[in-house]
């Protein structure tokens, strides 16, 4: 093993140890930034299963707007099922305890963005006003007609979400995750598929090399943390992949790169597709990919988020959902109004 490989593994271990402290060991449920008595804070589901929402510190500092970040649920909680509907019901109670009265501004990143969408729906169902939903890098295959048709067909054979057993919901999630991955692969070119196969092959070879070199103590430590991390992510993928978002008239803004965490074009994170379920919608194209939009390009993301949160109305989506160029942040460049569902 080279020194570079050893350094990479040690950084990964440290990252996973931090996640364990931040999430599994139950860090503070709420983390508030830029609080003041004037602005309506953004209640934000950070959805970060790796670093416990560490990116929020810089995003909030760059944005300068009040943000109240709510940590994900621990998968060790008894009877917690992988269901966005059930997570939403649980976390709405946290929102109402934190801020009993609206209006509310709700947002989130990745799986947290989908939880935010459901929480906004439930808050409205309870009679509260939701001013805006902001989704950063949301999972988006849930909005496509083919996925929704398959989901409805399978869900029709099952009890409603609140009546399903944990095991039934897990199996439903496994099946829909297969459908999800098929949909993801269909959006890749032959060259991108070949690149993905090579990437997975390199990862497998690296793992085997660790085994051959016999670093059993370090390997076992890494394995335990990685298994915990993988269980957490599996829980959220099962939750998101079984979710069927209901149409909404609430102003909805999605910000997305259209790229996965490896920089590959990925329909899974093409937030422009949420126009299918929203009648008052805007999409902002971000630079980078699923991870670097929060690091390398966090300043640009914060600038866009700040503009959104200063109550400028959402409008039409970008002309082409697959357009690679980044949308400008200046809302005055758009014609506002309702966007028809496709």
State pLDDT tens for residues 186-240. Answer: 766 677 667 666 766 666 666 555 544 445 555 565 666 667 777 777 888 888 8
The fraction of the chain above a pLDDT of 70, given in percent, is: 68
Q: Please give the pLDDT value at position 210.
A: 53
340 part of a folded domain = no
Mean pLDDT comparison of 133-147, 195-209, 215-229, 316-330, highest-scoring range: 133-147
Q: Please give the pLDDT value at position 324.
A: 36
- DSSP-assigned letters across all residues of 152-206: HHHHTTS--GGGS-HHHHHHHHHHHHHHHHHHHHHTS-HHHHHHHHHHHHHHHHH
Give me the mean pLDDT over the 76-101 stretch: 86
In this prediction the pTM is 0.77
Q: Please give the pLDDT value at position 323.
A: 37
Please say whether the beta carbons of 268 and 248 come within 8 A: no
338 part of a folded domain = no
210 part of a folded domain = yes
296 part of a folded domain = yes
Confidence of residue 327 (pLDDT cuts 50, 70, 90): very low
Mean pLDDT comparison of 69-78, 158-167, 235-244, 297-306, highest-scoring range: 297-306
pLDDT higher at 221 or 158: 158
Is residue 255 scored above 60 in pLDDT? yes
Q: Please give the pLDDT value at position 51.
A: 61
Q: Which of 190-194, 308-312, 335-339 bottoms out in mean pLDDT, i.e. has the lowest? A: 335-339
Q: Please give the pLDDT value at position 133.
A: 96
**Residue 188 is part of a domain; what is its CATH number?**
3.40.50.1820
Q: What is the mean pLDDT of the chain?
A: 77
Locate 123 and state its tokens: 């808050």
Please say whether the beta carbons of 318 and 285 come within 8 A: yes
Q: Which of 145-154, 158-167, 195-204, 223-232 bottoms out in mean pLDDT, i.e. has the lowest? A: 195-204
Domains of the chain: total: 1
339 part of a folded domain = no
Q: Please give the pLDDT value at position 105.
A: 95
71 part of a folded domain = yes
54 part of a folded domain = yes
Is residue 93 scored above 80 in pLDDT? yes
Q: Which of 23, 27, 108, 28 is nearest to 74 (CA)?
A: 23
248 part of a folded domain = yes
Report how far residue 20's alpha carbon sits from residue 25's, in angstroms, rounded to the nearest whole number.
6
Give me the mean pLDDT over the 163-185 stretch: 83
Q: Which residues pair with 31 in a beta bridge?
A: 69
Locate 54 and state its tokens: 């560490």
Domain hosting 42: range is: 3-333
């Amino acid at each position: 093993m080279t020194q570079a490989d050893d350094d990479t593994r040690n950084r990964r271990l440290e990252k996973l140890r931090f996640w364990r402290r931040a999430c599994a060991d139950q860090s503070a449920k709420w983390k508030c930034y830029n609080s003041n008595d004037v602005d309506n804070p953004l209640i934000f589901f950070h959805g970060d299963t790796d670093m416990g929402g560490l990116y929020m510190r810089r995003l909030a500092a760059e944005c300068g707007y009040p943000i109240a970040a709510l940590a994900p649920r621990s998968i060790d909680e008894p009877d917690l099922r992988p269901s966005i509907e059930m997570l939403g019901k649980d976390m709405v109670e946290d929102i109402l305890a934190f801020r009993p009265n609206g209006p509310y501004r709700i947002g989130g990143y990745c799986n947290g963005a989908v939880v935010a969408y459901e929480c906004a729906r439930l808050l409205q169902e309870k009679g509260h006003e939701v001013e805006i939903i902001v989704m950063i890098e949301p999972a988006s295959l849930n909005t496509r007609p083919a996925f929704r048709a398959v989901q409805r067909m399978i869900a029709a054979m099952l009890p409603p979400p609140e009546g399903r057993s944990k095991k039934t919901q897990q199996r439903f999630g496994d099946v829909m995750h297969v459908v999800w991955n098929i949909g993801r692969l269909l959006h890749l070119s032959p060259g991108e598929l070949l690149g993905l196969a090579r990437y997975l092959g390199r990862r497998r070879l690296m793992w085997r090399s660790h085994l051959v070199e016999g670093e059993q103590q370090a390997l076992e430590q890494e394995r335990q943390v990685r298994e915990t991390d993988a269980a957490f992510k599996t829980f959220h993928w099962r939750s998101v992949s079984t979710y069927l978002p209901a149409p909404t008239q609430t102003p909805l803004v999605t910000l997305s790169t259209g790229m996965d965490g490896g920089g590959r074009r990925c329909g899974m994170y093409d937030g422009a597709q949420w126009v299918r379920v929203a009648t008052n919608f805007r999409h902002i194209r971000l630079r980078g990919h699923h991870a670097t939009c929060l690091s390398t390009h966090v300043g640009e993301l914060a600038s866009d988020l700040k503009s959104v949160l200063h109550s400028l109305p959402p409008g039409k989506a970008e002309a082409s959902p697959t357009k690679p160029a980044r949308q400008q942040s200046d809302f005055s460049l758009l014609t506002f109004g309702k966007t028809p569902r496709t």
